[in-house]
């Protein structure tokens, strides 16, 4: 069985796969990671694993888990099932590499736009001939709330809410409207722009804020919360195939 460890900016995700079948998924804080890791390796017979990290895991913790499972670390130097046309592959986030691999696996011979709505919102484009051409990065939901608070004198720090009106009648309502509808119009605009170039474009929305944002997007979008994990598992299988 495969163990996937996805180290994000805020939390860590662990997933167990039997080939392409997801058996278990857990999302934990950095503090709770080792305990959950020990629980999973005691529950399953783990043969191999992969670590993807855009966060900061303590070296002692990384050394510990490496003694328990034979982990592959995701970098741009691994083998990938697509042609990478990014001009600076060494700076491309490993999470974006995994998302493109998931697109290759699930949508062969399709033009795909993958949108990952996490701490940042990333946009990645895979063409039907399996070429990754790049994309975009913008601030995510919580980053926008935090920026309004940190970079102004009087605006409050808010958390996202499901009760949002396009016309705010208080300062709090106006912030919610600006953040939420600003992101929705950004996503719809980028999707529409790519659809003028790729008529048969498949659009995937994933990440922690995918469900929150998907309710008011105008374009046809598939929501898949496990897309990154699927990509990581595919990379592990692709690089260890006999």
What is the predicted pLDDT for the residue at 215?
85
What is the predicted pLDDT for the residue at 218?
84
What is the predicted pLDDT for the residue at 45?
96
Give the position of tokens 């499972």: 69
Structure tokens at 31: 């503090």
For residue range 13-31, what is the model confidence (pLDDT) as tens digits? 999 999 999 999 999 999 9
Cα–Cα dist 107/204, whole Å: 10
Query: Angle at CA 221, nearest 5°, toward 23 and 2?
Result: 20
What is the predicted pLDDT for the residue at 47?
94
- pLDDT-based confidence at 85, cuts 50/70/90? very high
What is the predicted pLDDT for the residue at 242?
59
**With contact defined as beta carbons under 8 Å apart, do 17 and 4 qualify?**
yes
Q: What is the mean pLDDT of residues 34-52?
A: 96
Q: Out of 6, 95, 124, 209, pick the active-site residue.
A: 95
For residue range 86-133, what is the model confidence (pLDDT) as tens digits? 999 999 999 999 999 999 999 999 999 999 999 899 999 999 999 999
Find out if CATH 3.30.470.20 is the number for domain 2-73: no
Half-sphere exposure of 161 (CA within 13 A, CB side): 13
For residue range 160-180, what is the model confidence (pLDDT) as tens digits? 998 899 999 999 999 999 999
Q: How far apart are the first and last CA of the chain?
A: 16
Give helix 171-197 / helix 141-150 axis angle, nearest 10°: 130
Query: What CATH number matches the domain at 83-232, 3.20.20.70, 3.30.420.40, 3.40.630.30, 3.40.50.1260?
Result: 3.30.420.40
For residue range 190-226, what is the model confidence (pLDDT) as tens digits? 999 999 999 899 999 999 899 999 988 888 799 999 9
Q: What is the mean pLDDT of residues 51-78?
A: 90
**With contact defined as beta carbons under 8 Å apart, do 134 and 146 qualify?**
no
- CATH 3.30.420.40 location in the chain: 2-73, 83-232
Q: What distances in angstroms separate CA 17 from CA 21, 105, 177, 190, 220, one per listed residue? A: 5, 15, 40, 33, 29
The answer to whether 95 is a known catalytic residue is yes
Q: What is the mean pLDDT of residues 36-61?
A: 92
pTM, full prediction: 0.92
């Amino acid at each position: 069985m495969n163990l996937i460890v996805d180290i994000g900016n805020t939390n860590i995700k662990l997933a167990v796969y039997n080939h392409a079948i997801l058996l278990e998924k857990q999302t934990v804080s950095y503090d709770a990671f080792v305990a959950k890791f020990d629980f999973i390796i005691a529950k399953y017979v783990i043969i191999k694993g992969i670590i993807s990290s855009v966060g900061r895991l303590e070296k002692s913790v990384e050394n510990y888990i490496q003694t328990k499972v034979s982990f592959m670390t995701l970098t741009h130097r691994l083998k990938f099932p697509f042609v990478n046309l990014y001009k600076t592959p060494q700076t491309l986030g490993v999470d974006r590499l995994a998302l493109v691999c998931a697109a290759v696996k699930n949508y062969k011979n399709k033009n795909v736009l993958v949108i990952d709505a996490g701490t940042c919102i990333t946009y990645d484009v895979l063409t039907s001939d399996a070429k990754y051409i790049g994309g975009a990065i913008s601030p995510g939901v919580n980053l926008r709330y935090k920026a309004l608070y940190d970079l102004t004198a009087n605006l409050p720090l808010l958390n996202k809410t499901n009760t949002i009106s396009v016309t705010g009648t208080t300062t709090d309502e106006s912030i919610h409207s600006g953040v939420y509808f600003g992101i929705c119009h950004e996503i719809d605009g980028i999707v529409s722009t790519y659809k003028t170039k790729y008529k048969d474009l498949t659009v995937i929305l994933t990440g922690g804020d995918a469900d929150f944002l998907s309710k008011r997007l105008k374009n046809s979008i598939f929501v898949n919360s496990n897309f990154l994990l699927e990509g990581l598992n595919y990379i592990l299988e692709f690089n260890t195939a006999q």
